[in-house]
Every structure is written in structure tokens, then in C-alpha cells.
Amino acid sequence: MPLTELTSSLGPKRAAHLLHRATFGPTKDQIDLYATYTPAQAVAQLFGTTLPDPVLPVDPETSTEWFLSGTTEANSGDSDLQEFFKGWFLAQMLSTGIAPNESLAYSTREKIVFFLHTVLTTIQSKVDNSRSLYFQNQLFRQFALDKTALTTINFKELTKKVCVDNAMLKLLDGNLNVKGSPNENYARELHELYTIGRGLEGTLPPITDPGDYFLYKELDVQEAARVLSGWDIDTTFANIDPDTNLPRGKVRGSATNASAHDNTIKQFSDRFGGITIQPDPFLLNGTSATEASALDEISQLIESIYSKPETAKNICRRVYRFFVYHSIDTTLDNTVIQEMATTFTNSGYKLQPVLEELFKSTHFYEAAAGVTDDNFGGVIKSPLDVMIGSYRFFNVQLPDPIASPTDFYEATNTMIRSLSKMGMQFYEPFDVAGYDAYHQFPIYHRSWISTNYLTERYQFIRNLNDQSMTGMGVDLIGFVQNNFTNAIASDARLLIIELAKYLLPVNDNLTFDPAADDASGLTAERLNYFLTAFLKSPQIDPDPEASWTFRWNNPVDMEVVKKQLESLFNALMQSPEYQLF
């Protein structure tokens, strides 16, 4: 079995690895706590905590929420409200306002919500409606975790719901798909991107028969478009899905006469066994399509797609690439991915059992027998992981979103601009496939790095560690005082080694001695670089290490201490290693 369970305690390195991948980042104390857990105990904490629903944001113009109650002329313009939505989502990733004992579990849920956004993506400028963006985000949140015994909380049912989601209808022109004039945009992406896919990238033979995509054919896209016809965006958000209690799109015409839905029989290709999809006569109004019959046809379509084993494998590849690593060869596909797909299918297409099994497995931490570090530091952090992870590590707090909404949105707007500079257009991926890093073969997460993007990452770190910055800057002296004993803090070398354990992904057997670094996670040269950067000061010290110890133990020149800590944290966090997890 490729996903055998790791049963020993995690220790700090594995705990940090789990918490960086499964959440938006831990604090030092959380790493220390989870280091004492086995993977099973850690996973139980991350997935077994009862979580509150997010508190709705308020519009500073009205001091009230607008997602549920709607907007009036008194509200901010919707372009502003869209930015407020994005800032609110960033606050959920930070677990703003959440009790410390719930913070990591809350962040786990929000990481899965973001994962769903990377798969069933949306583009803000195309959707152009804050409420549509919110309700899709909340739809993902409902399906992120298996909170109950309900069999409907699964990826297959989510796929059905998203077919008539207002944001998705707008993004892929589902609202333009009508009987007699089918629009195939969503049907095409439903097959290629969101469900069955086109096989394992890098292993596909050339197409010799135009219109045959190995797992489905052009005919299937055309027939699926007819199944999906006849829906429109509900700008009133009054058409409520009875299962989710969230707004969805509406059929053109009326619920009893879906006049724009193609009500004829749809004949699929041999790739789907030549099945037909047709309206249930018991759901028709005479011979007329109804909302119920149109929804039932969508359900038939999604059931047929999920009946193909490749659908489960394709979705599990997306899970693996997001949470583990981008490279999947045929051996891995036939072992680890296949086992994940089996778990996915046997659980009724639920994500949580797949993630629990993955996060408890030896493979997640070690990847291959006898190898202890080949999964650590293998993924380039997204700008989101750099930013949110750094804020969470230092416990940086946003202004209160309810008591001080103007200050809150000013802070989150700064975050959104910073993400853009680092290469992530938050909620504005380049195309409907989503952010390149999560799907673009063969570069994947390497797309996050360019000379300009890396420079902006370093600038973000400088701003974070600049204690003269107001609002989102870090008190580095207070951080060291509160998190390390005086014996460690006053010893420059010990402090570097301890910080590396929490900030850098590979940190075994660290030493400053070049003759002893064969088994070290970092070279002694690297450690000595951090030491040199740390101990440089505005004055020339004949014995820099002794001078640091004296200054720390005799706080009479804290300005120099502050500058030295800024230099140390900048060196560690601007290193290539910090860009990885």
C-alpha cells in the first residue's frame, strides 16, 4: 500500500511541514505542540474541531453587511464591495477573530476553500459582482469539510451545484447557452478542467482523430452543452437552492416552463458508452421542461462523468499537486494517485477522507522508503502562502473588521496590492483554468518566481520586519523575548539555529562548522552567512558575538539590538529557503 500510515510522533520538522501545507501557516507554539502529536492525532485536531461560520463583513458606508441583505444606493459601489470581499476572505485565511484553539482547524478549512477556488475557479473582472463572488465562496465552504454524516457533502454534488452557480454561469457564459443556440464554453471546461480531464500531462499521445480527447469526444461537449442550456443569472439572488440554502441561477422562463432549455434526448459518444440523457417525464410540465427536469438532467450528466474512473484520478491529481508536489509520473499515478482515487470514490467523492489519509501517510512526509527529507522544501510558496504564513507566524493582527472596517479594508487592500506585486492577481487568474502554478504543465509552481516577483517578495519581508512600520510590522524584540529562553536569545548561533527550525523547511543537524555539515540540512556556509548578516551593527565590534550577548543581557542600546534582529530576520526570510515549504 503506497499510503501507509506514519505512526511515530511528528517532531518539529514534520509538524511544520504538515501545518504549512494543510493550513496557511502555524506559529512557533503551534509547531511545538503538533511536534508531540502523531499524524493521526494532528489530523484529528485539524479536521475534528467544530468551527464557527465566518462573521460577515460590513460596508463602511452603512456599517452593515450586504451579502445577505443586498445593497442599496447607500452602499459603496460594487467595485469597492468586491475588494472588500477579497479582503474579508484574506481575513478568514488569517483566522481573524477566531479563538487560538480553533485557529489551525479554521485555517485548514479556509485552505481547502482556496483549493476549491483554484480548481473551480472564477475571475473577478468577468463575474463583476461582490455577492456572486461571496456566495460561490460560501458554497465551497459548505463542501470543504465533511462536517456531518450527510452524503451530499462531496465533490460530485458540489460539481452539480456549481453548474448553476451565479458566478460560474457568468464566468463561462452559461447564461448565454439557450435552446437552438448552444454555448459550449462551460461544457468544455467542465470536462477538460473541472472533472475528467484529458489524462496525465506529459504522457498523452498525439491526437490523431480530431475531436477525440481520449477520455471524451467533441460530441460529448456538444451534448453536455445542450444538457446545461436554459439557465440565467439571478441578479436578485432570490432563487435559493434547498440543499445549500444559498442563491443559485434561475431557468429562463419560469420554474414550471423552462422555455430556453433543450428538452430533447442527448446522445453521448462511445467514450461514455453511448448513453443518452433525457428529461424525466415525471418532472415535466406536460411536454415542457421545468426547473426540476433541467436540474435532473444536470445530475444525470455529472453522474455519468463521475462514473468514469479517470474523473476521480484527475481530481486527486489536483489535490496532490496543491498539497504535496507537482510532478506526477506514471508510477506515482498508478500507485499513490490511484489509492487516493479509490479512497475518494469509496467515500462517496468526499475530499476530507482523501486529505486525512494523505496527511497521515509516510509518503506525505518522506515520499520514498529510507528517505527522510525529499518532500520538505519542495514547493515554491505562492505569494499568498508567503504573506499569510508570515503574518500567522508572527501573529500579526488585522484591525477589527466590524469595529474599524475602514482601517480593516485599508490593511487588506494593502495586502491585495502586495500580492499583485509578488505575482498573484488575487481572484483574477489569467484564464478560466485558474492560477498557472496549480495546473500549467510543466512549470507549475515555478511560475511564481521571476526577478521582479522575487524582488517584491524581499520588499514584503523588509516591510514586515521594519519595526518603524505602523500597523502590520513585527516587534522582533518582543517576538524573540516571548518565544525563546534568554540562554538561546543571547547566543547568536543558538538563536539562528532555533529560528531556522521554524522558518526554514530543511533544518536537520545545523552547524557552523564546515567540517561537520555533511548531515546538515543547510551548509555551514549558509549558517555563517546568516551569522554575518546578523552581527553586523552600526559600529565595529571587536568580538561581534560577545557584543550581541552583552547588548541582549544589558538592554541599554536597544536600537542596535533592533537593527541587528532586523538584519537577521531579513537574511533568513529573504533566503531562497524561506520561499519554499
State the CB neighbour count (10 A cutoff) for residue 103: 21
At residue 89, the 3 state secondary structure works out as helix
Q: Report if residue 355 sits inside a domain.
A: no
Q: Report if residue 269 sits inside a domain.
A: yes
Measured distance CA(172)–CA(189) in Å, rounded:
8
The angle at the Cα of 205, spanning 202 to 210, to the nearest 5 degrees, equals 125
pTM check: above 0.75: yes
Q: Report if residue 277 sits inside a domain.
A: yes
Mean pLDDT of 215-223: 97
Q: Report if residue 318 sits inside a domain.
A: no
Mean pLDDT of 203-218: 88
**For cell 568580538, what's the residue?**
543
pLDDT recorded at residue 373: 47
pLDDT recorded at residue 479: 96
Q: Report if residue 482 sits inside a domain.
A: yes
pLDDT at 1 over 60: no
Measured distance CA(433)–CA(435) in Å, rounded:
7
pLDDT recorded at residue 110: 98
Question: What total of structural domains would you count in the chain?
Answer: 2
Q: Report if residue 439 sits inside a domain.
A: no
> Final residue of a domain: which of 243, 274, 307?
307
pLDDT recorded at residue 473: 82
Q: Report if residue 206 sits inside a domain.
A: yes
Measured distance CA(311)–CA(302) in Å, rounded:
10
Least confident of 101-105, 137-141, 206-210, 496-500: 206-210
Whether the link from the prior residue into 442 is cis, omega within 30° of 0, is yes
Q: Backbone phi, then psi, for 152, in 5-degree steps? A: -80, -10
C-alpha cell at 365: 512526509
Element at 231 (helix H, strand E): strand 231-232
Measured distance CA(292)–CA(298) in Å, rounded:
10
Q: Environment class of residue 371 by beta-carbon count within 10 Å: exposed (0-12), middle (13-18) or buried (19+)?
A: exposed
Structural domain boundaries, residue 271: 145-307
> Final residue of a domain: which of 307, 331, 349?
307
> Final residue of a domain: which of 273, 289, 307?
307
pLDDT recorded at residue 273: 96
Quick: pLDDT tens for 151-183: 678 999 999 999 999 999 999 999 999 999 999
Element at 232 (helix H, strand E): strand 231-232
Measured distance CA(527)–CA(532) in Å, rounded:
9
Q: Report if residue 11 sits inside a domain.
A: no
C-alpha cell at 218: 467533441
Quick: pLDDT tens for 53-82: 999 999 999 999 999 999 999 999 999 999
Mean pLDDT of 335-341: 97
